[in-house]
Amino acid sequence: MTAAQITELAAMSEAEMIALAYEEAAGGDTRRALRQAIEDVIALETKLAAAERMVSHGYVRGALLSRVS
């Protein structure tokens, strides 16, 4: 990698670097890169929705009931 390429990479936004990584992973095929990125976003949204369903949105404070023998 040349100094000019390093400088260009350093000036890129995070979104530009991610887009470049997808394009490189897709062998330069921009349509495939876009499709893979969208598939990854959909998968992450699915995981996030599942995680959100597991989060408690409150609690009840109270004493534990003792057992009646």
Q: For the segment 6-60, what is each residue's pLDDT rounded down to a tens digit?
A: 888 889 999 999 999 999 999 999 999 999 999 999 999 999 999 988 887 777 6
Token digits of residue 39: 């598939």
8 within a domain of the structure (yes/no): yes
- Greater confidence (30 vs 5) lies with 30
Give the whole-angstrom CA distance, residue 57 versus residue 54: 9
66 within a domain of the structure (yes/no): no
Please name the amino acid found at residue 31: R
Are residues 24 and 13 in contact, defined by beta-carbon separation less than 8 angstroms?
no
Token digits of residue 37: 């990125």
18 within a domain of the structure (yes/no): yes
Q: How many domains does the chain have?
A: 1
62 within a domain of the structure (yes/no): no
What pLDDT does residue 38 have?
97
63 within a domain of the structure (yes/no): no
